[in-house]
Amino acid sequence: MGGNRALARRVFEYGVYLMVALVVIQVLLAGLGIFASATFFSWHANVNGAFVFLVPLLLILIGWYGGVPIRMRLLMLAIPGLVIVQSLLLIPYHANVQGPLRAIAGLHAANALFIFWVALQLVDRVKVPSRA
């Protein structure tokens, strides 16, 4: 059984790098949606957005089985939470709110940076595992 848990820990570690790649792809798709073709926004909003939300949830379960420290699993849980915030920040835009409240939608980009920072924090913790 210990071999399976070690494998689960290894899958979690590789999954952290996958998360960074998914976040970078998400930003790339947004940029392509702005500068190349609006069809990329469908991929940004629907396809890759779902992966950025669901993959961390799967990795949390794998990490739990593999004995990954709770702090790392909670940090991973921050990503789907921040993805929910991403959607909420766009409500003023989709509701066509005018005036200062519309600026709230601009925080969508700032929150994306925060998601990327969280993913990088996970990479940092995977590179130097805690002994606690």
Q: What percent of the chain has pLDDT over 90?
A: 92
Would you state the pLDDT for residue 132? 43
The average pLDDT across 53-79 equals 97
**pLDDT tens digits, 81-126:** 999 999 999 999 999 999 999 999 999 999 999 999 999 999 999 9
DSSP state of 46: I
**What are the residues whose beta carbons fall under 8 Å from the beta carbon of 71, sequence distance 6 or more?**
125, 130
Would you state the pLDDT for residue 128? 60
**What is the radius of gyration, based on Cα positions, of the chain?**
17
∠ CA(127), CA(131), CA(132), 5° rounding? 125
Model pTM above 0.85:
yes
Would you state the pLDDT for residue 129? 56
**pLDDT tens digits, 67-78:** 999 999 999 999
> What are 60's two structure tokens?
């949390």
The average pLDDT across 7-30 equals 96
The average pLDDT across 47-52 equals 94
Would you state the pLDDT for residue 2? 78
128 vs 124, higher pLDDT = 124
Reduce the DSSP state of residue 67 to 3 states and report it. coil
